[in-house]
Amino acid sequence: MIKIVAVGKLKEKALRMQIEEYEKRLRPFTKLEIIEVPDENAPQSNSEAENEIVKDKEGERLLSKIKDGEYVILLDLWGEMIDSIAFAKKLESIQIYQSPNITFVIAGSLGPSKDVVKRADYRWKLSDLTFTHQMTRVLVLEQIYRGYMIQHHNPYHK
């Protein structure tokens, strides 16, 4: 099973439609669950200490949705960047040797709390580019789908 736990609500209709499309495409391969947790107000005027409080509150919400035994992949600017083929192999290896349940965590705009980083089994950096958190959901789903296509030797990857 694949689970995505993300801070904030997805509001853009076009992105929701893309997510629905990948949900449909993933059905033959895995069960998919997407969980949204509320975000905290984080004005630009916040101090560093106030931002840490925001990250901690969001982090507690994220962690409450993760069960023991789930393998956690944190989307993280300081994570490892890998290509799609390596990602497909990683997905397969995790589900065979570590846990059939993989949870992808997308933290809020300030990044993950220390506790969320500590809980992560793997920290994955999608790109050096910056994406909205909503767009990140679509990109993660597309890469998961691409991973399954690679595993099944499907020409989608080309």
Q: Please tell me the predicted confidence (pLDDT) of residue 156.
A: 78
3-class secondary structure per residue, the chain: CEEEEEECCCCCHHHHHHHHHHHHHHCCCCCEEEEEECCCCCCCCCCHHHHHHHHHHHHHHHHCCCCCCCEEEEEEEEEECCCHHHHHHHHHHHHHHHCCCEEEEECCCCCCCHHHHHHCCEEECCCCCCCCHHHHHHHHHHHHHHHHHHHCCCHHHC
**pLDDT confidence of residue 82:** 97
**Residue 81 backbone dihedrals phi, psi, to 5 degrees:** -95, 130
- Token pair 């789903």: residue: 141
pLDDT score of 4 more than 80: yes
The answer on whether 132 is annotated among ligand-binding residues is: no
Per the CB < 8 A criterion, the answer to whether 102 and 30 are in contact is: no
pTM above 0.75, yes or no: yes
Cβ 2 vs Cβ 122: under 8 Å: no
d(CA 16, CA 13): 5
Domain ranges of the chain: 2-39+49-151
User: Does the structure show a pLDDT above 90 at 8?
Assistant: yes
Burial class (CB in 10 A: 0-12, 13-18, 19+), 6: buried
136 belongs to an annotated ligand binding site = no
The model's pLDDT over 70-119, given as tens digits with 9 standing for 90+, comes to 999 999 999 999 999 999 999 999 999 999 999 999 999 999 999 999 99
Q: Tell whether the model's pLDDT for residue 157 goes beyond 80.
A: no
Which of 58-62, 107-111, 126-130 has maximum average pLDDT? 58-62
Is 121 annotated to bind a ligand? Reply is no
Cα distance from N-terminal residue to C-terminal residue, the chain: 25
The answer to whether 126 is annotated as binding is yes
> Is there a binding annotation on residue 127?
yes
Whether the per-residue pLDDT at 158 is higher than 80: the answer is no
**What tens digit of pLDDT does each residue of 13-46 get?**
999 999 999 999 999 999 999 999 999 988 788 8
CATH of domain 2-39+49-151: 3.40.1280.10
pLDDT band at 127 (very low <50, low <70, confident <90, very high): very high
